Amino acid sequence: MKKANKTENRTSQKPFLLRHLVPILVTIFLIVAAAVAAYIFIVAPLLKTSHSDSTPVTAEKTYKDNFVKQQTAVESLLRAGDAASIAKAEAITTTQIAEADKSGNNDFVVEATLAKATVLIETGRAQQALDDILFPMLKTYSNDQNFTEQIYGVMSFAYRQLDNQVKADEYFNKIQPKGWD
């Protein structure tokens, strides 16, 4: 009889384990499935989006980044003020103009050429900037309002450096006011 009781106890224990073990396993399975689904449908798309938002490197971006670095160097050299530093600053702006010409982009050409004119103005050669750079540029880009206004701005600066406030104001006033576009 004792054997029969032991056998009955074992068979009666199985349903007890199954009753408690199966719901625990099902719960664990559902939690893992929910975590996997959350990763697949929420986290993974966010990771893809963050990688695709990075700006692609273009020739234009590379040129502009290089131009900004060079302009920072030019400004630093101009602050030094000695003849060697000024010569280096002029060499950098001459290189910038050559790179801009090579790119074929008029925006770059105007920006680099105006940078060269600004170096001349800041080093006491405003008249040279007007005669050699700004007036010829004005003729070249007379049909482009954006370029002419940029040129007028630098011309105004040149005339201010030459203590000719009337001419400085004349060119400054040619720049059209911009609205809140």
Q: Could you state, in order of their start, the residue ranges of all structural domains in the chain? A: 1-54, 59-173
Cα 5 to Cα 2, 60, 94: the distances in Å are 5, 88, 104
**CA-closest candidate to residue 128, choices 119, 137, 139, 120:** 120
For range 4-14, the mean pLDDT: 57
pLDDT of residue 54 exceeding 60: no
Q: How confident is the model at residue 59 (pLDDT cuts 50, 70, 90)?
A: low
Most confident stretch, 45-49, 54-58, 70-74, 81-85: 81-85
* Residues 156 and 171 sit within 8 Å (Cβ to Cβ): yes
pLDDT at residue 53, rounded to an integer: 47
Identify residue 176 by its one-letter amino acid code. Q
Q: How confident is the model at residue 49 (pLDDT cuts 50, 70, 90)?
A: low
DSSP SS3 for 142: coil
pLDDT at residue 44, rounded to an integer: 67
* Residues 103 and 63 sit within 8 Å (Cβ to Cβ): yes
- For residue range 130-166, what is the model confidence (pLDDT) as tens digits? 999 888 988 988 888 888 888 998 999 999 999 999 9
**CA-closest candidate to residue 124, choices 150, 153, 162:** 162
The topology under which CATH files domain 59-173 is 1.25.40
* Residues 100 and 108 sit within 8 Å (Cβ to Cβ): yes
For range 101-115, the mean pLDDT: 88
For range 50-62, the mean pLDDT: 59
Give me the torsion for CA of 24, 29, 32, 33, rounded to 10°: -140
The DSSP letter of residue 179 is -
